[in-house]
Amino acid sequence: MKRLIKFYNKYNSDKAQFSNCSTEYEVLPHIVQDDATPSDLRELAKSLNYNVKHQKVIKNEPKRWGGIEITEAIFVNETKTKESFNNKETFKVYLGFATIPDEIEVKESLNNPVSQDMLTDLINSQVCEMYTIAEIDRNSMLVISGWDAFHLFQLAGYTDFDTTLRELDIYNSVFDDSVFSCHDCGEWEYNDNGYVNNFRIVNECSLLGINCGCYEKHCIDNVESFIGDHTSVLDDSAIYSLLESNKIELLETFISGMVDERGGYINGKSVSESTPEEAKEKYKEHDVVFGLDDSGQFQTYFSIYKIAAWSL
């Protein structure tokens, strides 16, 4: 089905195409069949008292990505003006047919409630690129991978997306590039703390969480796989456990990143500048592993440890 919307794009480069980020639109209570033509749009515009006598209907080619398209659009002799930095920009206002995926039931009237069952069906069908409802920081959140979910509800005649979440006792929504699920325990968590990811990649593809303890366990159980690898670091909690059991011994701590030959200071001690490659070469007579001590915007502190021969 197709829904009639009145819209304009905040970026002139988007013209009469649908953009998930820049299209400002009003959903109108008119739906037409999939085979509606440009002439149908013209007649509908006339019935709504828009002067479209000399306006050409734009027929858009379907976009490769995204579930929503503007298939036909017509300029309705209205403009929007935006002023920024003492510059004025003018944007054309259009009427257009927005397509709705077949899996979503389109309602004639607007603002219909969305049920929990319908939301579950949408998640399972992946129409809106939804993944799951996850508990993150003790809040119920809907994990999604695209902007389409925010628009499809409203275009199909249902309550807007944010209201839907509130009515279904879902705290918020997050994009799949903002959160991850630990491959061992399945716990959901935000990707990073601002500087360092809250997960580590193992076996080239598996994500193991830091805060859930799965990466620590992996480090302890597989410490031999870290030997001599300056591109992989042991979790700090794993370092602590290995130090406590005397399986590793600290050789030296360094500062790396944007440095200026003055070294650095961490935990009350001054440290020299180096890179993991240089540190590995300096202690090449030992079987060594690396640990990350601290990361900031410009510098990283790391330590190099030798493996106790008996622990291998």
pLDDT at residue 307 tops 90: yes
Query: Mind spelling out the 3-state secondary structure of the chain?
Result: CEEEEEEEECCHHHCCCCCCCCEEEEEEEEEECCCCCHHHHHHHHHHCCCCCCCCCCEECCCCCCCCCCEEEEEEEEEEEEEEECCEEEEEEEEEEEEECCCCCCCCCCCCECCCHHHHHHHHHHCCCCEEEEEEECCEEEEEECCCHHHHHHHHCCECCHHHHHHHCCCCEEEECCCEEECCCCCCEEECECCCCECEEEECCCEEEECCCCHHHHHHHHCHHHHCCCCCCCECHHHHHHHHHCCCEEEEEEEEEECCCCCCEEECCEEEEECCHHHHHHHCCCCCEEEEEEEECCCEEEEEEEEECHHHC
Q: What is the pLDDT of residues 284-306, one digit of tens each?
A: 999 999 998 888 888 889 999 99
Please tell me which of 84-88, 103-107, 154-158 the model is most confident about, judged by mean pLDDT.
Answer: 154-158
Q: What is the pLDDT of residues 152-183, one digit of tens each?
A: 989 999 998 888 888 888 888 999 889 999 99
pLDDT band with cut points at 50, 70 and 90 for residue 116:
confident
Where along the chain do its domains lie? 2-99, 116-177, 222-311
Q: Which residue has the higher pLDDT, 166 or 94?
A: 94
Q: What is the pLDDT of residues 248-292, one digit of tens each?
A: 999 999 999 888 888 888 888 889 998 999 999 999 999 999 998
Average pLDDT estimate for 66-89: 86
Residue 221's contacts (CB-CB under 8 Å, 6 or more residues apart) are none
